[in-house]
Amino acid sequence: MRSAAALACALFVGCSGATSAGHSRSGEIVSRVTAIHGGAGPFVVAGYRMGERALADLSLTRGSFDVEVEHTSPAMVQFSCIADGFAAATGASMGRLNLRRIDATDGSTRTLVRDRRSGRTVVLRLASGFLARFLNVPMPGLDAAGQAVLGLRDDEIFEVVSERPGETR
């Protein structure tokens, strides 16, 4: 009998247990975001990819109590979906008190990830090209759009910015 993760993999990416590493990795991502978010559309997958990058930049592991995520965005679906992607990638959650979403008063979207122990931070935001391509994808196309995001380079999805507005690393 297939596990829920294998079934999600088969439904969302059309893979089986004996596939290439790329398909296995895609299936893992889809399973994680679907378990938290209920689907694998482009914005939640983007949040996952951003969360992975933040963990790597801060040398933290998924599930670490040292990770803290602060997602600032308009209170709108799509932009709030990014926070679920970060939760799936980092293991942060509201219940663990290391994930929170803040309403953006200026309409901007950004996510700050902090290493509580060292105080080091990484700030990420969606790339303008990502928004142009994936904003307001119709419901029937969400899964296919999420799959497309899995195949994009990081710089096609997001940019890593410093704590000072406008400065990129």
Q: How many domains does the chain have?
A: 1
In a domain, 137, yes or no: yes
Q: Work out the average pLDDT over 13-26.
A: 51
Q: Work out the average pLDDT over 108-112.
A: 95
> What is the model's pLDDT at position 54?
97
Q: Which domain holds residue 130?
A: 41-161
In a domain, 64, yes or no: yes
Report how far Cα 53 is from the mean position of its chain's Cα atoms.
9
Q: Work out the average pLDDT over 9-18.
A: 34
In a domain, 96, yes or no: yes
In a domain, 34, yes or no: no
Q: Domain containing 101 — which CATH number?
A: 3.30.1330.130
